[in-house]
Structure 1
């Protein structure tokens, strides 16, 4: 995954510290541009899924990034390999915004944000503790890559009402699932460019689409134009694999005046 900070001076080494476990949430890890912690709620379900949130509080003027920041920044990363009876963790993302700071365009958040995390408990019903190595890009004019080890014992306080409300609220803030009348489709490719046709309630010139480069794809910033009353976005493929992958496709989030939805586009 490409990591770059062309819009800021990057402090050479990531800050590294351990925020010890405190019941079903970790302690806050304090960084120059804000603080963050890991929160869990309840017990894993029958399939082993345990819901949590990476709770990020940013100071005024600071920012952090979406799953694909564009040509500036670094996406949030989490590694739970040091955990006990936890085999994986996956972020979900609220709708980002497009930003242009005069140096580069990037996708992310210039406000405090909560990223839902779905943990996979390998053996539901058995004790499980989370040791999560979290890496974030937290930037003002100076970019501070922050790495922290957050520790949580979900079983210590699974009925904590405050944690439950926080996790529930974060999940409710996620984009909905794309529908036929509110979503995006992949249009024809022309050389290094592909087109994305967006359908959504409200004016077409209020739409924006964010597409994450995954599975060997690296994408440029979508450029919107209006064709026949519809928003069509042109995206340059900066890198692509030699053969089409077998995954779900390219994740996208479509934003309109009516809200946001997410889905997958077929691999070009």
Structure 2
């Protein structure tokens, strides 16, 4: 038996939560993976997994074996990468996951420059606003603009601050009888991003550090920042956006920054990737390139 291959199969089964999911990720059949795990159990004389029709669970011995298995495989990967890194350019496929608005409006500004630097590296890009399990989905690196990171085993590297601003179309503002002020905001319709915990609530800080919490009626609620952006440009109401989402529309006059003296809590652009003793060359060069790009403030008024 190839013990190393069996250990890799065992780790993939545990990380992905089952034989079927591991089979889809590896291209191996459910039967082959099951046989490899059974061979390990036979070799070490102990049961590693509890198998039921609904779930798969590590035994106590299986948990101990998994920890040693993960350590050994990471050491093997580290050795192979360190031996090859000095004479090989990053190559293969970099699986990248980003939010939809970031992928459509921001990533294209600098991704081409990165690709030109590393011609042997292919990019497999997925755009989604849903949180993904990087290990289960086989994702190398995720970029997210957020003000909240859930507890996880992932490494989070902050790349940039993202200012959050209120905007409206000039046509919408012209239709208003009275001037827009923090006190009258609650009378205006808000274009709501429905994935937020409190989508109708605005928390503003004034120039004198005054704090305001304003509940606004929702004219349109959507789970897509791009749909809300189009609605704001069409003049349907006031919206709260990360500046990078509306930076071009502000520059060409399609949107106006309203109440610029009142600020909202900024978010951050994070690069998230699985924790490992040794970062792969393809992930390392991408992180370094993105860090250098965002060392210069990009989303400024």
Normalising by structure 1, we get a TM-score of: 0.21
Q: Which has the higher strand share?
A: 1
Normalising by structure 2, what TM-score? 0.19
